[in-house]
């Protein structure tokens, strides 16, 4: 095991050996093994956005096996999906890549300003399918956020007792936030802190903009001149907000973008001390050859082989 992975695991010393082993499995898998960086392929979009919007741009992606094989061929750290997709492929890919079972999902068939996901799977399902972790989405800022927080805490406690790691998707939403506010720096940093406080080992959130949404927080940012001019500055602040780098923070790719925009984001995440990316639609909505080229370049960015190596992360070792 590399020193970088040991430093990261040292930040989770309160966890049992099962959790530490499963975190290590993800950190030591794929082309980024041992670097302390991660790229995960998540595929919950069929439930979250609908099948045509998600898979029609690349019809082979309607097949659950396509995604698992893509993650393996690209040398990624893990593959995350919902119960149905994992049940369809787990027997065929057992042991080939770490699996993460998302335990909740939210559909778009009823318009709502304050989304509330439904629990669609259990910790026992994750164990049955050979997963290394559970995943769960929270929506800080929504009316029912407290219900989500309480459900997550119960599921996280059960998962940790069974030796599973916990991955939290933390996406600010709700009628109290403007659309711009959903990715505001102060809001995203707050959402990362909430996920960490609820027991997440790995936190997934969106790349923040320089916008500041909350009036009282804005005063602090401006008075203390907290850096936010560049994407790397903002990544650094979000990582700092997740226990000063003691929790793994990954950033989502979002809607499909052109390659150069994604590469610029990857370099900013790397240079800002982020631990990596979760890339879904930007990979599987391309044809497989293009997706593999894209993911190869993203891996190289996090390896530091395409540009000068990013600055040292703020992970504490004591």
pLDDT tens digit sequence for 14-29: 999 999 999 999 999 9
Given 204, 206, 218, 219, which residue is catalytic?
204
Query: Is 204 annotated as catalytic?
Result: yes
pTM for this entry: 0.95
Distances (CA, A) of 92 to 62, 129, 316: 17, 11, 39
Q: With 50 as the cut, is the pLDDT of residue 56 above it?
A: yes
The tens digit of pLDDT for each residue in 90-140 reads 999 999 999 999 999 999 999 889 999 999 999 999 999 999 999 999 999
Mind listing the pLDDT tens digit for each residue in 259-293? Answer: 999 999 999 999 999 999 999 999 999 999 999 99
Distance CA 191, CA 171 (A): 7
pLDDT above 70 as % of the chain? 96
At 239, which helix (H) or strand (E)?
helix 231-241
What dotted CATH number matches 3-303?
A: 3.20.20.70
* Whole-number Cα distances in Å, 44 to 84, 169, 218: 10, 12, 34
Q: Where does residue 207 fall: left (phi above 0), alpha (psi -120 to 50 degrees), or beta otherwise?
A: beta
């Amino acid at each position: 095991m590399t020193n970088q992975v040991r430093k990261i695991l040292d930040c989770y010393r309160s966890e049992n050996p099962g959790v530490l082993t499963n975190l290590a499995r993800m950190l030591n898998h794929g082309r980024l093994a041992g670097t302390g960086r991660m790229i995960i392929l998540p595929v919950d979009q069929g439930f979250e956005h609908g099948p045509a919007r998600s898979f029609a741009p690349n019809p082979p992606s309607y097949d659950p096996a396509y995604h698992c094989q893509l993650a393996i061929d690209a040398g990624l750290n893990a593959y995350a999906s919902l119960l149905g997709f994992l049940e369809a492929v787990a027997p065929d890919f057992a042991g080939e890549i770490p699996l993460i079972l998302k335990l909740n999902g939210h559909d778009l068939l009823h318009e709502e300003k304050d989304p509330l996901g439904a629990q669609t799977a259990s910790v026992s399902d994750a164990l049955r399918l050979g997963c290394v972790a559970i995943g769960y989405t929270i929506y800080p800022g929504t009316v029912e956020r407290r219900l989500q927080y309480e459900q997550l805490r119960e599921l996280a406690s059960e998962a940790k007792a069974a030796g599973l790691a916990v991955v939290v998707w933390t996406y600010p939403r709700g009628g109290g936030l403007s659309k711009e506010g959903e990715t505001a720096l102060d809001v995203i940093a707050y959402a990362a802190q909430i996920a960490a406080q609820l027991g997440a080992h790995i936190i997934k959130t969106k790349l923040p903009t320089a916008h500041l949404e909350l009036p009282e927080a804005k005063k602090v940012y401006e008075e203390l001149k907290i850096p936010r001019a560049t994407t790397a500055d903002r990544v650094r602040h979000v990582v700092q907000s997740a226990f000063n780098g003691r929790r793994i923070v990954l950033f989502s790719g979002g809607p499909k973008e052109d390659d150069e925009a994604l590469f610029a984001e990857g370099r900013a995440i790397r240079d800002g001390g982020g631990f990596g990316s979760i890339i879904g639609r930007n990979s599987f909505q391309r044809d497989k050859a293009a997706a593999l080229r894209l993911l190869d370049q993203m891996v190289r960015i996090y390896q530091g082989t395409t540009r000068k190596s990013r600055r040292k992360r703020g992970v504490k070792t004591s």
